[in-house]
Chain A
Amino acid sequence: GAGVSQTPSNKVTEKGKYVELRCDPISGHTALYWYRQSLGQGPEFLIYFQGTGAADDSGLPNDRFFAVRPEGSVSTLKIQRTERGDSAVYLCASSHQTGVNTDTQYFGPGTRLTVL
């Protein structure tokens, strides 16, 4: 079946601009995660959704970052007043939530954000 998809694949913007990054999870997956990966590093957690609600947003670096998942499927990560330090690959992952134990997260191809 179809995997996690993310759009756009690349986004170049200027410092101070607003950007939106989209994630379409695997069909039927109720859990959705956003991570950020800087060059030469492993992905770092940003936010986790269970259904429509953000169950854990402890990884968001500051209030310029916000994410929504209004219908419990597609999610949008929003970054206001972008800074050069926001340049990274933004990864989305989804998983089943079959019980109380953690399930495997499956990742999308990522969006490479470059802030000039």
Chain B
Amino acid sequence: AQKVTQAQTEISVVEKEDVTLDCVYETRDTTYYLFWYKQPPSGELVFLIRRNSFDEQNEISGRYSWNFQKSTSSFNFTITASQVVDSAVYFCALSESWAGTALIFGKGTTLSVSS
């Protein structure tokens, strides 16, 4: 069975601190996709990144970076120099590779950034 675990329920940091959100997944598939979504207080899930299981290269996008390690089944997300606008719930999700498969979400990590 597929499962996503986000062990950190809540994280609080002060602006400009770096923060890493952990994501550990379980799947028997050899081909799969991993995602991160952001859910700000407004409620809408915002897509951040998609990764397939064959691409273990780390990715950086501005202040965001992602570390994918198949050996530890982890797909961690780091925000550098956090800002108040980063405050949100962040979800990690997993899906099989075939079109039309459902996303399996973790329970989310609530990030609070104070000024």
Interface residue ranges, A against B (CB under 8 Å): 31, 33, 35, 40-45, 48, 50, 55-56, 59, 89, 91, 93, 97, 99-110, 112
Contact = CB atoms under 8 A, between A and B. Distances in A.
A41 B93 CA distance: 12
Contact of A50 (B46, B52, B100): B100
A103 B107 CA distance: 22
Given A42-B106, A102-B33, A104-B35, A55 B100 contact: yes
A50 B47 CA distance: 21
A101 B98 CA distance: 5
6 contacts: A33-B103, A40-B107, A99-B99, A102-B95, A105-B47, A106-B47
A7 B107 CA distance: 25
The 5 closest A-B pairs by CB, nearest first: A42-B105, A45-B102, A107-B45, A109-B44, A104-B50
B97 A109 contact: no
A48 B100 CA distance: 7
Given A107-B45, A109-B43, A110-B43, A102 B100 contact: yes
B44 A56 contact: no
Contacts of A56: 100-102
Nearest to B91: A42
Nearest to B96: A102
B100 A31 contact: yes
Contacts of B35: 104
